[in-house]
Amino acid sequence: MPLLLCIAGIILLVILILWVKLDTFISFVLVSILLGLASGMTVSQITHSMEKGIGDILGSLVIILGFGAMLGRLVAESGAAQQITHSMTKIFGKKYLPWGMSLAGLIVGIPLFYTAGFVVVIPLIFAVGYSTKLPLLTVGVPMLAALSVAHGFLPPHPSPTAIAEQLHADLGKTLLYGLAIAIPAIIIAGPLFGSTLKKYKATISEELLPKETIPAGQLPGLGISLFSALLPLVLLAITTIAGNAFPTNSFPDKLIRFIGNPDIAMFLSVLVAVYFLGIRCGRKIPKVMHELQDSFKGISVILLIIAGSGIFMEVMRAGGVDTYIAAGLRNSNIQPLILGWLIAAIIRVCIGSATVAGLTTVGILLPIVQHVGHPELMVLAIGAGSLMFSHVNDGGFWLFKEYFNLSIKDTFKTWTVMETIVSFTGLIGVLILHAVI
């Protein structure tokens, strides 16, 4: 019965989001209440679970996601993203330009949330395509594949960060393992797959382009742009790599653990970016602060979705649904990492949202996966599954279609295939890492 309730809950969630077009957060709340009542919980138990679920999941995420949004906005508005892309195209030259676009997409994609990153890089893709006369998809797909990989695999993006927090995975290790998987995924889904797309005639949608670009002479330097965008990665990596290099509780040990704490790392990165991408570039502090405030407003919808998933997870836990499902799945012959990927992939195909797919999967599998060795790999397996087969119920599908003026059929052949390649490559990478570490 609990398994049927869970399946019914997910089906109802799909119906409410996909067909009824109900807000995702409201859908989560409604399904969670119905699931709680069907599980025999009292109204007070349900409301307590709702409050606890929101508090547990957002309490550890608001700082990271908030500062992540601020850093991404600074990288975008200052022109650092534009500088990185232009510099990569010059360094790699026309022949290897798709590889340069992939690298630029990864660098830009680490601090920028996916939708924001998409909107930022689209005019850069069009500008590079126009100036080099290369097919737009050959130039664009490598960059967008890198953005997608960062969105699914790498903190501080919402889904991998939230999943890591729920599984008590180390964010530094998640980032390093994620990069190890991200590189081959980007290569295969980006430059290699992109090179097969020359026959598709994508065109520039002028009316969809941002009206303003920063003149080349006013862009921040490449070194400052890279340093500011990658500082969170550097700080988290330092802690992971050098965390045990000094005696416990010694000053160097305390310092490394302080700057490598995810909250502190993001905070320090924002402060550095405010100076180098704001004040040092001649931008007024009030204007920079206004941009930071707007950036936090932009992630409010994401925070509500995460909060809703927290409610769903806590109601399942309090009602004993997840424990029952876990007991049944323990006897399954499916490898846990593959199981996590598979469930996330199914929910992704049904609902469309990678974030919802990842967090819902954690709620279902939490009693099992939190005891799996190397929880960082489970984070990445679920993240890979959550990128599976993007189609008409995913906003990214329509962004890609409209910006590149493609038919729905050609969008399936390009965008959907690219996302599916990323998903399968990610799973293979996770399994290889599991066999090695």
Chain segment 299-316, per-residue pLDDT in tens: 787 788 878 888 887 887
Which tokens is 341 given?
């990927």
Q: What is the average per-residue pLDDT within 383-396?
A: 87
Short-list 127, 107, 125, 130, CA closest to 194: 125
Q: Which is more confident, 391 or 192?
A: 192
Geometric angle at alpha carbon 413, from 408 and 416, rounded to 5°: 85
Encoded tokens for 129: 């395509």
Answer whether 201's CB lies under 8 Å from 242's CB.
no
Q: Which helix (H) or strand (E) holds 252?
A: helix 251-260
At 66, the pLDDT band (50, 70, 90 cuts) reads: confident
pLDDT band at residue 205 under the 50/70/90 scheme: low
Structure tokens at 433: 């890492």
> Which residue bears the tokens 């990864």?
106
Q: What is the model's pLDDT at position 109?
A: 87
The CA distance from 397 to 279, in Å, is: 37
Q: Output the average pLDDT for the chain.
A: 86
Neighbours of 305 (CB within 10 A): 22
pLDDT of residue 58 exceeding 60: yes
pLDDT in tens, 6-18: 778 888 887 888 7
Residues 6+ apart with CB under 8 A from 428: none
pLDDT band at residue 208 under the 50/70/90 scheme: very low
| pLDDT band (50, 70, 90) for residue 371 | low
Per-residue model confidence (pLDDT) at position 157? 86
C-alpha span between 77 and 215 (Å, rounded):
13
In degrees and rounded to multiples of 5, residue 405 shows phi and psi of 55, 50
Q: Could you identify the residue written with the tokens 């920079």?
A: 288
Higher pLDDT, 100 or 322: 100
The b-or-e profile of 178-211 (16+ CB within 10 A means b, else e) is bbbbbbebbbbbbbbbbeebeebebebeeeeeee
CB 259 within 8 A of CB 239: yes
Torsion of CA 133, 77, 64, 293, to 10 degrees: -150
pLDDT (tens digit, 9 = 90+) per residue, 218-235?
A: 789 999 999 998 898 888
**Amino acid identity at 421:** I
Between 2-14 and 24-38, two packed helices, what is the crossing angle to 10 degrees? 160
pLDDT for 119-133, tens place per residue?
A: 778 878 887 887 788
**Which phi-psi region, left, alpha or beta, contains residue 93 (left: φ > 0; alpha: ψ -120 to 50)?**
left
Does residue 212 surpass a pLDDT of 60?
no
Please, what is the angle between helix 354-369 and helix 2-14, to 10°?
170
- Dist. CA 277–CA 149, nearest whole Å: 25
User: Residue 207 above 60 pLDDT?
Assistant: no
pLDDT digits (tens, 9 = 90+) for 248-267: 788 888 888 888 788 898 89
pLDDT for the residue numbered 63: 85
C-alpha atoms less than 13 angstroms from C-alpha of 350 in its C-beta half-sphere: 21
**The tokens of 91 are what?**
């360094």
Domain ranges of the chain: 2-436
Predicted pLDDT at 248: 78
